[in-house]
Amino acid sequence: MTRWPRWRRRTLLASAWVVLVAFGWRAAPLALRHLAFFRVRQLELVGVKNLAPDVVIAALRLAPDASVFTDTRLLGDRLRGLAGVAEVRVVRQLPAALRVELREVEPAALAPRGGGPRGGPLVAVDAEGRALPFDPARTGLDLPVAAAAEPGVVGVLALVQSVDPALFQTITSARGLARGDVLLDMGPRHVLLRRDAGPEVIRAVVLVAQDLAAKGRPYVELDARFARQVLVRRKASAAAGGA
């Protein structure tokens, strides 16, 4: 009878050990999920700011006897189907807890519900003008009010929010103009922008506003609709006045 070389026997034993470990790694959760010790008794929600926690928990659709070894990818997929969720990850914390790490869609404005007239109920909308299931009264959302949930208008607001949050906080309302431009109200002052304005335009507006403030020069309107320049006006233009 021919004996295999020692190195080959060791290789076969190592391979068999790897297979057994892999099988055990996959089979253990299937066996342990039936033990009461591993039933989910705690849920930790991380990153939930505007969504109602009860809504997030309900979206998980966990059974009363759900195990911590429940498929976390399935739970994540359920939460990704929830409006207002951008990214999510569900992590096991043995022996009996699940940690839900969630990033919400960033709200860009408040707008009339269903495109209704200004003055009606307001809902939070994202950069595309889509309604979000956030309750402004419950969460205290401090956002500009858009005359309508137009993607061009709320898209500009979202751009300002990402480029300069301090400037975004000064905006009280926004609306579209007849030529497709956007008017941002900041109390007694206005900023005029094109709907396709880029980050460099927002930065230019901020620099001009800071320079005027440092020099103590009053102004009413900054018009950034022109290439590589920001016009400073001491009186509102006809566009802003008409708006």
Counting as low any pLDDT under 70, the low residues of the chain are 1-34, 114-120, 238-243
Closest by CA position to 150, among listed 178, 111, 179: 111
What is residue 45's predicted lDDT score, i.e. its pLDDT?
Answer: 97
State which of 48, 70, 104 marks the end of a domain.
Answer: 104
% helix, strand, coil for the chain, step of 5: 40, 25, 35
Residues 123 and 113: beta-carbon distance below 8 Å: yes
- Judge whether 157 lies within some domain: yes
What is residue 23's predicted lDDT score, i.e. its pLDDT?
Answer: 42
Domain shared by 190 and 237, yes or no: yes
Domain shared by 165 and 213, yes or no: yes
What is residue 24's predicted lDDT score, i.e. its pLDDT?
Answer: 45
Number of domains in the chain: 2
Domain shared by 150 and 46, yes or no: no
Task: For residue 45, give the CATH number of its domain.
Answer: 3.10.20.310
Q: Which residues pair with 110 in a beta bridge?
A: 124, 145
- Judge whether 17 lies within some domain: no
Domain shared by 162 and 232, yes or no: yes
For residue 107, the tally of other CB atoms under 10 A from its CB is: 25
Domain shared by 83 and 117, yes or no: no
Helix spans in the chain (H): 6-32, 53-60, 72-80, 136-139, 151-163, 165-170, 199-215, 238-242
Range of the domain at 55: 33-104
Domain shared by 91 and 146, yes or no: no
Q: How far apart are the first and last CA of the chain?
A: 97
- Judge whether 119 lies within some domain: yes
7-54: pLDDT as tens digits: 555 665 555 554 444 444 454 555 566 677 889 999 999 999 999 999
Domain shared by 65 and 121, yes or no: no
Domain shared by 99 and 214, yes or no: no
Domain shared by 95 and 147, yes or no: no
Domain shared by 152 and 235, yes or no: yes
Task: For residue 185, give the CATH number of its domain.
Answer: 3.40.50
What is residue 5's predicted lDDT score, i.e. its pLDDT?
Answer: 66
Domain shared by 164 and 55, yes or no: no
Domain shared by 131 and 204, yes or no: yes
What separation in angstroms does the CA of 41 have from each of 37, 59, 65, 96, 127?
10, 17, 9, 6, 37
Residues 80 and 92: beta-carbon distance below 8 Å: no
Cis ω on the peptide bond leading into residue 199 (within 30° of 0)? no
State which of 104, 127, 144 marks the end of a domain.
Answer: 104
What is residue 86's predicted lDDT score, i.e. its pLDDT?
Answer: 96
- Judge whether 1 lies within some domain: no
User: 89 by DSSP, 3-state: which?
Assistant: strand
